Amino acid sequence: SSINTYIGFDFGTKKVGVAKANQLTQQASPLDTIHYQSEQQLWQSISNIIDEWKPNELILGIPVHMDEKIQPITKLALAFSESLKTQFNLPIHHIDERLISIEAKGIIKQQRQAGKKKKTKKGDIDKIAACLILQQWLNE
């Protein structure tokens, strides 16, 4: 009886935040922010992560805006979801990430104020957003 592992993604056109969790702890933690110039680079990085962690399921934040309109980024995120499914043949769950990035920014701000990280790198926000997406799914 192996323990299920989950990988969460926060999709962006230049970077993708990645987080991981498992069934046992039910606690998501930030894993990486993939900065990419090409599709090939992105998929190579994701492949490496999938090979290393061997997740059972994938969780992806889909940005839907307050007025429910489909945004260009939403279409791209859905296309990314389809590619994930095709390439890795794993179940994918979508989380509405409307408020996630605001929350991620808030967490980083708190960390800065607490003096934990004097310099929060821009990439941290994507990892943290992926972490929040995954945690939201675990909590549901």
| Both tokens assigned to 2 | 């192996």
Can you give the pLDDT at residue 113?
82
d(CA 90, CA 100): 24
Q: What is the pLDDT of residues 68-101, one digit of tens each?
A: 666 788 889 999 999 999 999 999 999 988 777 7
How many DSSP H helices and E strands does the chain contain?
4, 5
Query: DSSP states of 52-81 as a string?
Result: HH--SEEEEEE---TT-PPPHHHHHHHHHH
Of the chain, the percentage scoring pLDDT greater than 90 comes to 64
On the CB side of 16, how many CA atoms lie within 13 Å of its CA? Answer: 27
User: What is residue 99's DSSP assignment?
Assistant: T
Please state, in angstroms and as integers, the Cα–Cα distance from residue 126 to each residue in 26, 51, 106, following that order.
20, 21, 13
Contact between 8 and 18 under an 8 Å Cβ cutoff? The reply is: yes
Whole-angstrom Cα distance, residue 132 to residue 106? 12
Q: Work out the mean pLDDT of the chain and round it to a whole number.
A: 88
* Residues 54-65 pLDDT 10s: 999 999 999 776
**116 vs 129, higher pLDDT:** 129
